[in-house]
């Protein structure tokens, strides 16, 4: 494998931007795919997120796009992503690695206004990043012509399959010029995906960089036995969070969307810097939450599998499985949020007595047992804090605030302790962080996971439904500036 990016055939503008991003050595998928992409070959890349696969298509695309220019409404390249967040991440990659280029990149995803993007499309774009349904929508409205597409990227094809996007992909492929290059990425190769590649790719080069069910070796996995009750599980989780030395930030996975909201609210009430990420939030709030997490303003991100799918959050120290995933493969995807790109990480899974068969499936899949970890003593140590859920708003809002330490930082990670100290008068509370002060909103998530945006009815207005009728998405409990 090459030791640096110089021998791969990338242009100087691209290698300079890669160096500026701080990357010195190509990852395996990059080393293998980039030269073929530059030769304009079709590619099947079997690689999971975390392997550097995004740059494996973005970097050579940037080099190839240096010759030629965009024409009105005819994007030169098209990248299909299953979710808005992934689309936004790819966009960020183009900004990072394309900083020496003057490329026009448009984003057609749900939840954002199309006005600006349409203006861009009218002027001509080099790169169009889209979710499949939204793209078809715009195509059917006559906003986009697909006949100029030179390169098509289908990213996270297995996710597309899970989310029911294959018919849309087929439709899109049929509208593209047959003489194009296709780069196809998937973590797994289910038969439906295989079928898609044999239909739409020409003599593809197959590159496989990780075994399908491999668990990143740098993740320290632990299993904690907890009782069935949600209250006990939440108390156990709080104890674990407080007890983890070196916890910088964490993603906490729940199996059900309504539990994401409940757990996020509960953690907030206990003073943690926490917010939920789920599909009912509008695009702006999802992005804000994600951004707060990426920029360390938010410590705990509570998420469902769909909401967290493929998200690139480079430095997550911990993953908690508040629920044991019912699909064993999700365990690998979830814990893969930590231990990325060679970093070490810790995953802690809470298992109840009724999770036996799911745990068995996971251990079979990863071909090892998850080492047990014990909780300290009694996990129900905080009856007062739990009771707070029913307190009036004003009283609640006075609690759970960070405690300013003598060094000016604010203590958030041990709110139980902080509360006690506050009552003892032993800590000064001079700098209140922004605290979520809203009364608990009625649960409106008793539905299954939201359909991906393309499966929602697509006729009529294109804007996404806002987060319920009761006002904007709740403020997030953020760390105050300089809290770290």
Give how far the C-alpha of residue 254 lies from the chain's centroid of Cα atoms, to the nearest Å.
14
Judged by beta carbon, residue 53 or residue 233, the one nearer ligand AMP is: 53
CA quadruple 165, 166, 171, 173: dihedral sign:
positive
402 in Cβ contact with 412 (< 8 Å): yes
In whole angstroms, how close is the CB of 90 to ligand AMP at the nearest point? 9
**Beta-ladder partners of 346:** 220, 318
Q: Indicate the residue among 157 and 261 with the shorter CB distance to ligand AMP.
A: 157
Phi, psi of 219 (to 5 degrees): -95, 125
Closest by Cα among 461, 455, 178, 228 to 350: 228
Give me the residue whose beta carbon is nearest to ligand AMP.
54
Give the list of residues 6+ apart from residue 295 with CB closer than 8 angstroms, or none. none
Query: Which of 23, 57, 293, 322 touches ligand AMP (CB under 6 A)?
Result: 23
Task: Please identify, using beta-carbon distances, which residue of 38 and 74 lies nearer to ligand AMP.
Answer: 38
Q: How far is the CB of 86 from ligand AMP (least distance, A)?
A: 9
Cα 131 to Cα 110: distance, rounded to the nearest angstrom: 8
d(CA 52, CA 186): 13
Complex with ligand AMP: residue 90 or 324, whichever CB lies closer: 90
Residue among 280 and 312 whose Cβ is closer to ligand AMP = 312
Interface with ligand AMP (CB under 6 A), residue total 16
Looking at beta carbons only, is 79 or 136 nearer to ligand AMP? 79
The least distance separating ligand AMP from the CB of residue 146, rounded to whole angstroms, comes to 25
Least CB distance from residue 23 to ligand AMP, whole Å? 4
Would you call 348 exposed, middle or buried from its count of C-beta atoms within 10 A (0-12, 13-18, 19+)? buried
- Least gap, CB of 96 to ligand AMP (angstroms): 8
- Please list every residue from 294 through 353 that binds ligand AMP, using CB under 6 A: 312, 314, 340-341
Q: What is the footprint of ligand AMP within residues 416-445 (CB under 6 A)?
A: none
Distance, in Å, from the CA atom of 313 to the CA atom of 305, rounded to the nearest integer, reads 15
Minimum distance of ligand AMP from residue 31's CB (angstroms):
9
Q: Which is nearer to ligand AMP, 340 or 396 (CB)?
A: 340
- Give me the 33-72 binding string for ligand AMP, x by CB under 6 A, dash otherwise: ----------------xxxxxxx-----------------
- Tallying the residues shown for the chain, one arrives at 484
Q: Least separation, in Å, of the C-beta of 292 and ligand AMP? A: 18
Residue 100 or residue 409: which is nearer to ligand AMP going by CB? 100
Nearer to ligand AMP, 24 or 147 (CB): 24
Task: Pull the structure tokens for residue 321.
Answer: 């499985």
Interacting residues of 173 by C-beta distance below 8 A, sequence separation 6+ = 152, 199, 200
Q: Are 317 and 248 in contact (CB under 8 A)?
A: yes
Q: Is 27 in the site for ligand AMP (CB under 6 A)?
A: yes
Site for ligand AMP in 218-257 (CB under 6 A): none
132 closest CA partner among 166, 158, 105, 156? 166
Backbone torsion region of residue 203, taken as left when φ is above 0, otherwise alpha when ψ lies between -120 and 50, otherwise beta: left
Q: Smallest distance, Å, CB 55 to ligand AMP?
A: 4
Is 207 among the residues that bind ligand AMP (CB under 6 A)?
A: no
Question: Which lies closer to ligand AMP via its Cβ, residue 287 or residue 341?
Answer: 341
DSSP strands (E only) in 135-249:
151-154, 181-186, 205-208, 219-225
End-to-end CA distance of the chain: 38
Candidates 23-31, 161-169, 184-192, 460-468; binding stretch for ligand AMP (CB under 6 A): 23-31
SS (H, E, C) 124-152: CCCEEEECHHHHHHHHHCCCCCCCCCCEE
- Residue 181 contacts ligand AMP per CB under 6 A: no
Provide, rounded to whole angstroms, the least separation between the CB of residue 51 and ligand AMP.
Answer: 5
Q: Shortest approach of ligand AMP to residue 255 CB, angstroms?
A: 24
Task: List the interface residues with ligand AMP, window 368-407 (CB under 6 A).
Answer: none
Cα-to-chain-centroid distance, residue 74: 30
In whole angstroms, the minimum distance from the beta carbon of 464 to ligand AMP comes to: 25
Task: Using CB under 6 A, list all residues that contact ligand AMP.
Answer: 23, 25-27, 30, 49-55, 312, 314, 340-341
């Amino acid at each position: 494998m090459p030791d640096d990016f110089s021998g791969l055939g990338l242009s100087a503008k691209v290698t300079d931007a890669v160096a500026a991003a701080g990357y010195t050595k190509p990852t395996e998928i990059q080393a293998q795919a980039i030269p073929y992409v530059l030769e304009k070959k079709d590619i099947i890349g079997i690689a999971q997120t975390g392997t550097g696969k995004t740059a494996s298509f973005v970097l050579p695309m940037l080099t190839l796009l240096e010759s030629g220019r965009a024409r009105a409404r005819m994007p030169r390249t098209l990248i299909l992503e299953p979710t808005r967040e992934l689309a936004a991440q790819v966009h960020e990659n183009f900004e990072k690695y394309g900083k020496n280029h003057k490329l026009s990149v448009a984003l057609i995803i749900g939840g954002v206004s199309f006005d600006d993007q349409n203006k861009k499309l009218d002027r001509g774009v080099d790169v169009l990043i889209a979710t499949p349904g939204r793209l078809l929508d715009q195509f059917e409205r006559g906003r986009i012509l697909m006949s100029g597409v030179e390169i098509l990227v289908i990213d996270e094809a297995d996710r597309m399959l899970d989310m029911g996007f294959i018919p849309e992909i087929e439709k899109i492929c049929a509208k593209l010029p047959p003489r194009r290059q296709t780069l196809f990425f998937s973590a797994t190769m289910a038969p439906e995906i295989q079928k898609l590649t044999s239909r739409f790719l020409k003599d593809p080069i197959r590159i496989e960089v990780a075994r399908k069910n491999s668990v990143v070796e740098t993740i320290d996995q632990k299993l904690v036995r907890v009782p069935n009750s949600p209250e006990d599980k939440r108390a156990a989780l709080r104890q674990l969070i407080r007890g983890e030395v070196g916890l910088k930030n964490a993603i906490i996975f729940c199996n059900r969307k309504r539990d994401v909201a409940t757990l996020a609210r509960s953690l907030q009430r206990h003073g943690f810097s926490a917010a939920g990420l789920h599909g009912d939030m509008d695009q702006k709030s999802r992005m804000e939450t994600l951004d707060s997490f990426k920029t360390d303003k938010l410590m705990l991100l509570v998420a469902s599998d769909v909401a967290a799918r493929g998200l690139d959050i480079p430095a997550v120290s911990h993953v908690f499985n508040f629920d044991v995933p019912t699909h064993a493969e999700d365990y690998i995807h979830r814990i893969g949020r930590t231990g990325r790109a060679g970093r070490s990480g810790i995953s802690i899974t809470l298992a109840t007595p009724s999770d036996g068969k799911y745990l068995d499936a996971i251990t079979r899949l990863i071909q090892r047992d998850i080492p047990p970890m014990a909780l300290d003593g009694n996990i129900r140590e905080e009856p007062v804090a739990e009771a707070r859920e029913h307190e009036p708003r004003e009283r609640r809002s006075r609690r759970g605030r960070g405690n300013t330490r003598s060094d000016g930082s604010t203590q958030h990670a041990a709110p139980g302790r902080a509360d006690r100290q506050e009552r003892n008068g032993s800590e000064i509370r001079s700098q209140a962080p922004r605290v979520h002060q809203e009364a608990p909103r009625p649960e409106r998530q008793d539905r299954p996971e939201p359909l991906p945006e393309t499966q929602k009815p697509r006729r009529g207005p294109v804007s996404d439904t806002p987060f319920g009728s009761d006002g904007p998405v709740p403020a997030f409990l953020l760390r105050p500036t300089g809290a770290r």
